[in-house]
Amino acid sequence: MFSKKKENPQIDPQQRELYEHARKRIIQKKRLFQHFVVFVVGAVFFAVLNLAFGYGKELTFFGVDWCIIAIICWAFLFVLHFCNVWLFSKFMGQEWTDRQMERLVAKQKEEIALMQKDVDLMYPKEELIKKKEEFIKGNQLKKVDEPKKSNKMITMIAAAGENDALGKDNDLVWHLPDDFKRFKALTTGHHIIMGRKTFESFPKLLPNRVHIIISRNKNYQADGAFVVQTMEEALEMAKNDDKPFIIGGGEIYNLGLNYATHIELTRVHADFEADAFFPKIDTSVWELVKEEFHDVDEKHKFSFTYLTYQKK
């Protein structure tokens, strides 16, 4: 009549064990509660019999009616039962916890071994070692090449005569409005790095540009501009700008040649008397990638050509 319960093959044995533990625990608590109810009813029953009807007074131990002694003994048994459920019989005791921990560790080890197997299959050990060596080598090379290989553009922008003249007595020696406009269009919104003398040649700050002044004088200060002592510091300050400009003058262009990736040079087609000069452009290092001629007109006394160079 009673068919044996079939084990569900889909239930994980560990889940089943958890379930069994929980079920036993519920039964334990239920029994304790039943015991409590029976004890309360029984104790009240005996107490009423004893107090109201004088039942049990015929037998006493040390002057206490046997009914009362029975209630005390029962209370003692109930306390034992209570302790057994809540104190001694810990739910899923230490032994069970240890067993679970061992199982978990074994399972993790198994999974790690499987993953290792996959890695070994995908990358045989020799290949991994090779890849690691290539990676380290690549990183080292990257460090050496960093200034050249970076995608960042560092542009030196200048206007120079045929004899590389830049200016005299801390001023320019020509007036070319279209070149000014181009300078403004290219540099607006960017960091502009300049020597202290060039900065002092400006009547005021150039709007919408971050001014970085290079000076050896650590105490040099300029309102609205940053002052640094080296080109490295200047470039570090402009590191979040993907296109900072080095805007002169002669001494700073010389410093900038090692760091620049591009040169925007306006070659003014005449020779000028000057005391600041643009450095010679070595065509084995710099490639001319664009040129645009601008003729003489009523606003421009000299013809000039915009030359764009890129470091090879």
Ligand X SMILES: NC(=O)c1ccc[n+]([C@@H]2O[C@H](COP(=O)([O-])OP(=O)(O)OC[C@H]3O[C@@H](n4cnc5c(N)ncnc54)[C@H](OP(=O)(O)O)[C@@H]3O)[C@@H](O)[C@H]2O)c1
Q: Which residues bind ligand X (CB under 6 A)?
A: 158-160, 166-167, 170-172, 194-198, 201, 214-217, 220, 229-230, 247-252, 255, 276
Please identify, using beta-carbon distances, which residue of 43 and 213 lies nearer to ligand X. Answer: 213
Say how far apart CA 178 and CA 175 lie, in whole Å.
Answer: 9
> Which pairing describes strands 210-214 and 225-228: parallel, antiparallel, or unpaired?
parallel
Inter-helix orientation angle 13-53/66-83, to 10°: 160
In whole angstroms, how close is the CB of 274 to ligand X at the nearest point?
7
Kindly state the greatest CA–CA separation across the chain.
140
In whole angstroms, how close is the CB of 272 to ligand X at the nearest point?
10
Please identify, using beta-carbon distances, which residue of 100 and 254 lies nearer to ligand X. Answer: 254
Say how far apart CA 60 and CA 74 lie, in whole Å.
Answer: 17
User: What is the Cα gyration radius of the chain?
Assistant: 46
- Structure token digits, residue 96: 């069970």
Please identify, using beta-carbon distances, which residue of 85 and 247 lies nearer to ligand X. Answer: 247
In whole angstroms, how close is the CB of 179 to ligand X at the nearest point?
9
Say how far apart CA 288 and CA 309 lie, in whole Å.
Answer: 4
- β partners of residue 265: 158, 307
Please identify, using beta-carbon distances, which residue of 15 and 217 lies nearer to ligand X. Answer: 217
In whole angstroms, how close is the CB of 259 to ligand X at the nearest point?
12
Please identify, using beta-carbon distances, which residue of 102 and 200 lies nearer to ligand X. Answer: 200
In whole angstroms, how close is the CB of 303 to ligand X at the nearest point?
16
